Structure 1
């Protein structure tokens, strides 16, 4: 009798337990789908708005604003082969009273001598325990702040600063009283082949299309490490002195939370070539993308928390923008999640909503990237080269596995392919 009652009770409770388990599971896969839907929609919005026909910038200050005085800071580590061309592109844009300072940081080549020969003021720094770009920037800023100009402009030692860009950046930094990021172009080297072309297009989406879309939507962008301008009083406010391998991203979010979101200036152009040699390119990508993933984990909660406590929606937009991982990783994660949810939906009595949301997220991703390619990438990535994109995405898998088990934590300079790396 007692055993019969127990069996009856189990038969009644079992469907309830199963139903609760299924509901919890549906919530879990639903949250996975939403996690993809939000950043892919943001990516699509940035790419579509950033692909509209070019129009005159509404942020360009009027000529009635006087040209501010400028300090140009160039951190350099073993850059003797390229720094001369960089200094030349800067010096022809300087006015009387402006200053160009090169920080030859832990160099064991002729970087300092070449910089002096091209007319730059040079300070040499040697410290085996603090080897990263951030320390070089901090060292240079301390020297510049002794006799500050109106604006501090930071340029990497392997860049070409297009004529007129320094004037535009300086005027915009003063008129907005905030940081400004130039249009930082990194075209693929012609010798890089199809692999380099795909990498170059991915960089174009990240450095040009997405910040232009945010700019047109009325939001700020992140800083990209070169072509950055700051009002002098603001330049030293962030903590530059660190070994963070993507110090520009960290500084960007520090400034945003502090109320100084960087402005994007598409008319000011700074160029640097991506490495042509595949090993060098992978090393550079490893530093960028490992640093990006670490920044997602550490800065997203900060941005969301500050957005809530300060009631500033712009910080929430910045958090969603940060949640967009490198394109290859985003595609990999979407494919794996989509296949998993597809199998679950076919084999279990769960809602089709997560599958619908994941499909929609894939549509956002594909439409956004193809819109950016049509507007910005057809001249650098042919239709034939598009066919290798799946193989390019798969090739990045070891890089992301390494981000989990062997994340790069220290800054390492990318080897130069040749002595003529700066774009003309």
Structure 2
């Protein structure tokens, strides 16, 4: 009996240790920020010799934010380029606004198929007639940094592979929180929660992909700022109701031999929801989708890694095994408590507890290094003390992932709409 318990706890420790070491390695290698600005006349930054591009924007009721997105793109387009907005099941002025700004527009109405993947598939059907060299997908609420379209297009053609831009979601603090008189104790709980959430997004979207790229491996797509050589854009099956279609598409492409690469010099930014309930809804969709993808794609990646003799697919599987940070911390705490009790009560030996402790060490080194190099502008040392509360606040979300998993795509409420409501 004791041997079986010890074996199970050893397996539990190994299951946590592997993704913890992977996360630690990614964060250590991604600790040094890349050079962000390129000279306009540099080979990669100049529009000279730039491939032609189609830019696709799927949009559902985005009239409040779409104009900013279109303007940030139009200033980077050449006469040979094309910009298409797919107004998907819209009930506002998204379509008319886009037309007034000189873009091509498709209006899609299908109440039975309401998801971003269907909008993308509709846009690709339209764009395949006289397609340009590169297709770039941008979410309707994102601002594209100057030069990013050129950088993405050149890298996609040079590598003949999908490319993922640096997808930032910076924290926008209120004037009160930035005032000299303000201290950590005066910062609102909601804003501190948003700061922790912004840090988690930065680790996932920037630190970890940068670390993987320095190891010589590709990364998963993050939903916006994605560029494809035109012949690859239609390779995945976009037309689905998957709530994290970008993750599923990433692994389809990897298995097919078209691994996405990370491009830190091309930058797209979007705003995190200001209100906590809106942010929780967005995180619920992301993290439920992540867990669903983990369960379905990890066995597939491992199997294909063996069949195709491709270690890169095994690395992708281990990377996908890393759960959302707050869930990872919760799992580790439960495993630590369970293993400690079993070690003392059943006297099964200290090896399982040692593995759990090693996993926790790797996890907290990863978080600390990421905060030290990328998160200090988001979280002060005092704010770090609120992370346990943030972790506990998300426990119901993970319970819901087991018993009431979100399966339908839901649009995130934008900051301007939240402000109007309040």
**Fold in common (TM above 0.5):** yes
Is 1:98 matched with 2:81? yes
Q: What corresponds to 1:32 in structure 2?
A: 12
1:73-110 CA distance string (max 9 Å, x none): 00000000000000000000001110000000000000
Q: What corresponds to 1:13 in structure 2?
A: none
Instruction: After TM superposition, give the deviation of residue 22 of structure 1 in Å.
Output: 1.5
Of residues 234, 237, 259, the one that matches 1:236 is 234
User: TM-score by structure 1 length?
Assistant: 0.92
Of residues 54, 61, 66, the one that matches 1:78 is 61
Instruction: After TM superposition, give the deviation of residue 415 of structure 1 in Å.
Output: 1.2
Q: Is the 8 A contact 2:275 2:418 kept in 1?
A: no
The 3 A distance-change label for structure 1 pair 69 and 53 is closer
Q: What corresponds to 2:153 in structure 1?
A: 170
Is 1:123 matched with 2:106? yes
Instruction: After TM superposition, give the deviation of residue 23 of structure 1 in Å.
Output: 1.5
Q: What corresponds to 1:208 in structure 2?
A: 206
Of residues 1, 17, 24, the one that matches 1:44 is 24
Of residues 278, 281, 284, the one that matches 1:280 is 278
Distance 2:335 2:376 in 1: 30
1:206-235 CA distance string (max 9 Å, x none): 000000000111000000110000000000
Q: Is the 8 A contact 2:45 2:147 kept in 1?
A: no
Structure 2: gaps (5+ residues): 38-42, 175-189
Distance 2:48 2:315 in 1: 31
Instruction: After TM superposition, give the deviation of residue 189 of structure 1 in Å.
Output: 3.3
Of residues 313, 320, 323, the one that matches 2:321 is 323
The 3 A distance-change label for structure 1 pair 62 and 391 is closer
Is 1:265 matched with 2:245? no
Distance 1:398 1:208 in 2: 27
Q: What corresponds to 2:331 in structure 1?
A: 333
Distance 1:116 1:56 in 2: 33
RMSD: 1.7
Structure 1: gaps (5+ residues): 1-20
The 3 A distance-change label for structure 1 pair 420 and 112 is farther
User: TM-score by structure 2 length?
Assistant: 0.92
Secondary structure in 2 aligned to 1:27?
helix
Q: What corresponds to 2:92 in structure 1?
A: 109
Q: Is the 8 A contact 2:133 2:229 kept in 1?
A: yes
Distance 1:107 1:359 in 2: 51
Is 1:247 matched with 2:245? yes
Q: Is the 8 A contact 1:221 1:262 kept in 2?
A: yes
Is 1:408 matched with 2:388? no
1:236-278 CA distance string (max 9 Å, x none): 0100000000000000000000001000000000000100111
The 5 Å alignment of 1:140-159 reads 140-159=123-142
Secondary structure in 2 aligned to 1:190?
coil
Secondary structure in 2 aligned to 1:124?
strand
Distance 1:55 1:91 in 2: 25
Q: What corresponds to 2:178 in structure 1?
A: none
Distance 2:50 2:4 in 1: 61
Is 1:356 matched with 2:391? no
Q: Is the 8 A contact 1:74 1:103 kept in 2?
A: yes
Residue-pair matches, total: 400
Secondary structure in 2 aligned to 1:320?
helix
